Amino acid sequence: MASLVAILDVKGKSLIQRSYRDDVPTSYVERFIPLVLDMEEENVTVQPCFSDEGINYMHIRHNNLYLLAMSKRNSNAAEIILFLHRLVSVLTEYFKEVEEESIRDNFVIIYELLDEMMDFGFPQTTESKILQEYITQESHKLEVQVRPPMAVTNAVSWRSEGIRYRKNEVFLDVVESVNMLVNASGNVIRSEILGAVKMKCYLSGMPELRLGLNDKVMFESTGRSARGKSIEMEDVKFHQCVRLSRFENDRTISFIPPDGEFELMSYRLSTPVKPLVWVEASVESYRGSRVEYMVKVRGQFKRRSTANNVEIYVPVPGDADSPKFRAATGSVVYAPEKSCFIWKIKQLGGGKDYLMRAHFGLPSVAGEDLDKRAPISVKFEIPYFTTSGIQVRYLKIVDRSGYTALPWVRYITTAGDDYVLRTISDSKSSSIIAPL
């Protein structure tokens, strides 16, 4: 429950706000930033939720904005914080970039959205596709009056009736991102696979879909022996269209999909994963003169696969200058704004390895040794391949009208946001990261 929702600029000035209940005076919005500044001054960590004089402030940050909700009661913090995130994503779908300017330019529609997305402080409809059906940017030109789409209150609140396509198609993308943390001595400390099944649905009517995966739990419960490999997903999350009780009973994934693009499900596996793209870096640092890097990359996957768009971010001291690079393949650029250099390789074959060297000058007066010691991070994509071995066994599409639709399935593995290898911690003396 939120009494007031406001979007503030970075200085804490309210760009737009909507009060849902009278118990929190609107003037309290102005107290938010002073409170945050006070906490920062006193070295107290500013947390997303805090309370002051009986008012609870819950906020998130997006770009240079604060999205703030206030309440006087013991509100559901998880719900409100999520609602604020959802507000950002709805606004993003409406205006692409959510920032000061787009908020100012679109205040009318934002008021409308705030009115529709929350009532009396309780979240209502937050599906941007449905909202777009009756809250549009050109509404004042409407000849025909809009009505609330059935879907707003339908049991199927995510899909409207009467959708028609000439060609009925479904695209399934199974995307697995691998997160990995490798310590300075080359051991994998933590690894996980975050998978997602994304769909693009171009189907007419109200089709019933059933998705079959090589889910180990299902194979076991039905007593069927799995042909080939089956996988054990540790935690599965579904889009709200999936019937959860059905999944709980017999692991069937059945649903009426929203129209267009959406994420059907996500899953997580924390089985140990071998690093697919292995990076080693040795650093030789001569304080006050120069620092040298030698980076080695190896594709540790099947020979017939290829990793595309490999990018290796190697952190360097903030005051490094005059970069020189020599790479056996790909290109290297220096990104001083991120205090790193990036080695880009368009295609890295399985089992191949390459070397690159970098040389930087350092100022003779050594700066404070307070460089943020970021780890090496890596980005890549490996198409036609999943680390977990997940497979779509079938996708059944049934609609009353009886059309046949074609499902297309693609697999891809990418590096997650957190595919990192820690650099050696001591950069004072010349030292080399222990190779494998």
Partner 1 sequence: MAAPPRKGENWELRQQLNSEYRDKRADAIKRVIANHTIGKDCSGLFPDVVKNMQTDDLEQKKLVYLYLMNYAKTQPELVILAVNTFVKDAADPNPLIRALAIRTMSVLRADKILNYLASPLSRCLKDENPYVRKTAALCVAKVFDLKPDMCIEYGFVETLRDLIGDGNPMVVANAVTALADIHEASLNMAPPESSPEGSSPNSARLNNQLFIIDHATLAKLLVALNECSEWGRIAILSTLARYRTTDVEEAEHICERVMPQFQHANAAVVLGAVKVIMIHIKNVQREDLLKSLTRKMAPPLVTLISQAPEVQWVALRNINLLLQKRPEILANEMRVFFCKYNDPPYVKVEKLDIMVRLATERNVDILLGELKEYASEVDVDFVRKSVRAIGQAAIKIESAAERCVSVLMDLIETRVSYVVQEAVIVIKDVFRKYPHSYEGIIPTLCANLDELDEPEARVSLIWIIGEYAEKIENADELLGTFLDTFKEESYAVQLQTLTAIVKLFLKKPDQSQGIVQRVLQAATKDCDNADVRDRAYIYWRLLSSDPAAAKSVVLAVRPPINLPQRTVPPAILEELISEISSLASVYHKPAATFIGKGRLGAEEMKRTVEPEEDTARERALQTVVAGQQAENLLDFDADEPESGASDGLAGLGSLSTGSSVISSQAIASAAKSTNPLDELMDLFSTASMATPAAPLAPGAGLEGLANSVSPPTTLSPSPATPTAAPAATAGGAQDDLLGLF
**Which residues ranging from 130 to 149 are in contact with partner 1 (CB under 8 A)?**
134, 139-140, 142, 145-148
Asked if 70 and 4 count as a contact pair (C-beta separation under 8 A), the reply is: yes
- Give me the sign of the Cα torsion angle 51, 57, 58, 59: negative
| Angstrom distance (rounded) from CA 134 to CA 150 | 11
Residue 73 contacts partner 1 per CB under 8 A: yes
By the 8 A CB rule, do 153 and 390 touch?
A: no
Q: Give strand ranges (E) for 79-168.
A: 118-119, 122-123
Please identify which residue in 11, 41, 42, 78 interacts with partner 1, judged by CB under 8 A: 78
Pair of tokens at residue 136: 């549009």
Residues within window 372-411 making contact with partner 1, judged by CB under 8 A: 372-375
- Burial label, 253 (beta-carbon count in 10 A; 0-12, 13-18, 19+): buried
Count of residues that interact with partner 1, criterion CB under 8 A: 92
Residues 149-188 that bind partner 1 (CB under 8 A): 152-155, 157, 181, 183
C-beta of 326: minimal distance to partner 1 in Å?
28
Work out whether 317 is an interface residue with partner 1 (CB under 8 A): no
Nearer Cβ to partner 1 (47/222): 47
Task: Choose the stretch contacting partner 1; rule: CB under 8 A; options: 115-123, 293-301, 352-360, 386-394.
Answer: 115-123
In the bound state with partner 1, the residue whose beta carbon lies nearer, of 115 and 322, is 115
Which residue from 11, 22, 97, 364 is in contact with partner 1, where contact means CB under 8 A?
A: 22
User: Is 216 one of the binding residues for partner 1 (CB under 8 A)?
Assistant: no
409 close to 174: Cβ distance less than 8 angstroms = yes
Q: Is 429 in the site for partner 1 (CB under 8 A)?
A: no
| 365 in contact with partner 1 (CB under 8 A) | no
**Residue 34 or residue 48: which is nearer to partner 1 going by CB?**
48
Q: Which of residues 269-288 bind partner 1 (CB under 8 A)?
A: 270
Name the residue nearer to partner 1 (CB basis): 75 or 306: 75
CA distances from 276 to 195, 385, 386 (A): 16, 11, 11
Of 166-174, 213-221, 262-270, 278-286, the window that binds partner 1 (rule: CB under 8 A) is 262-270
Least distance in angstroms from the C-beta of 314 to partner 1:
14
Residues 6 or more apart whose Cβ sits within 8 Å of residue 270: 191, 192, 193, 234
Give min distance, CB of 108 to partner 1, in A: 6
Q: Which of 200, 216, 268, 344 binds partner 1 (CB under 8 A)?
A: 268
Cβ–Cβ under 8 Å, residues 26 and 17: yes
Cα–Cα distance for residue pair 307/52, rounded to 1 Å: 52
Least Å distance, CB 305 to partner 1, is 26
Question: In degrees, to the nearest 5, what angle opens at C-alpha 318 toward C-alphas 315 and 320?
Answer: 90
